[in-house]
Amino acid sequence: MFKGSIVALVTPFKDGQVDYKKIKELVEFHIKNSTSGIVPCGTTGESATLSFDEHERVVGEVVSTVAGRIQVLAGAGSNNTSEALRLTKHAKKAGANGALLITPYYNKPTPEGLYRHYKAIAEEVDIPIVIYNVPSRTGISILPETVARLAEIKNIVGIKEASGNIDQTTQILQMCNITVLSGDDSLTLPIMSVGGKGVISVVANVVPADTAALTRFCLEGNFDAARKFHYKLFPLCKGMFIETNPIPVKTAMKLLGRLNGEMRLPLCEMTKENENKLKGILKNYGLMS
């Protein structure tokens, strides 16, 4: 259902407030540059700093601006099951094509707790759900066996896999019929080579057309062409994580004149040393003179 290059959209701010006009501009930019789908209010969208009202309005603005032209997979996760349920209900009401739910962070639930968390939401809200596994940020990894159990629930359709472990993807695909999307830009080609269907991408905020080309060639089985984009994108992908995401991607967009680079505390501006490194990466890619 979900495939190709799906951008984990940044949330633009202006003087401390969400910049809804800029959100619309970014949506149009992605549609023009062959992005397959948009994730508003994910980790890259600084969802942890958004109020419920802001979160729901951002999702609504993205859905209305997209107007059915590409897919919208709304960020709706929380470490509080009732909060995740509220956000998932809103995603459906707003008209999103699906909801992306991160594994509950900090609580460190058992495999059974993870299963019950997702099951409760999936049974309550009839919307396609994609699990998001990112143990480096949540402190817990969902086991392939738990994913296989959840895949038996009809509307749990995918997993964004950001464990950095190709074995994990292989095991998931051996155990069940679920869509796997890469959650690590630098691992998109390897994950798609073993059966993944695309990526939920940070770097697509900067180079959407190239990210879309990589996934398109992989889906077509043209891995020689995909590999060229993989090697081209690789340094830029790594550059997006020289500091905590989304600091580098917002800084890159500022350097390219697409965004003011504003973030909300506890995130702050990039160090000058790392900003200079990022400038070098952007220049080597051909994005800056």
Quick: pLDDT tens for 94-149.
999 999 999 999 999 999 999 999 999 999 999 999 999 998 889 999 999 999 99
Backbone torsions φ then ψ of 139, nearest 5 degrees? 85, 5
Distances (CA, A) of 176 to 148, 156, 171, 172: 5, 12, 9, 6
Residue 228 has pLDDT above 90, yes or no: yes
- DSSP-derived secondary structure letter, 183: S
What are the φ and ψ backbone dihedral angles of 74, each rounded to 5 degrees? Answer: -80, 130
Q: What is the pLDDT of residue 289?
A: 84
Percent of the chain with pLDDT over 70: 100
Q: Quick check: is 160 catalytic?
A: yes
30 phi and psi angles, rounded to 5 deg: -70, -40
Question: Which residue did the predictor score with more confidence, 1 or 96?
Answer: 96
E strands along the chain, which residues?
4-8, 13-14, 17-18, 37-39, 71-75, 98-102, 129-133, 156-161, 179-182, 198-201
pLDDT (0 to 100) of residue 136: 87
The token pair at 265 is 């505390």
- Answer yes or no: 132 catalytic: yes
For residue 195, pLDDT over 90 is answered with yes
- Report d(CA 257, CA 238) in Å as an integer: 21
Helix (H, G, I), strand (E, B) or coil at 185: helix
**pTM assigned to the model:** 0.95
Looking at 115, 118, 160, 197, which residue is catalytic?
160
CB 9 within 8 A of CB 58: no
Task: Please write the tens of the pLDDT for every residue from 31-73.
Answer: 999 999 999 999 999 999 999 999 999 999 999 999 999 999 9
pLDDT in tens, 240-253: 999 999 999 999 99
- How large is the average pLDDT for residues 154-171? 96
User: Does 279 score more than 90 pLDDT?
Assistant: yes
pLDDT score at 103: 95
| pLDDT score for 101 | 98
Q: Where are the domains of the chain?
A: 4-220
Q: How far is CA 62 from the centre of its chain?
A: 15
CATH code reported for the domain at 4-220 = 3.20.20.70
174 pLDDT more than 90: yes
- According to DSSP, the β-strands at 179-182 and 156-161 are parallel
Nearest CA among 168, 171, 232 for reference residue 203: 232
| Cβ pair 12, 23 in contact under 8 A | yes
Q: Cα 274 vs. chain centroid, distance in angstroms? A: 23
Give the pLDDT confidence score for residue 1 in this predicted structure: 83
Handedness of CA 98, 35, 252, 138 (dihedral sign): positive
List the catalytic residue out of 3, 115, 118, 132: 132
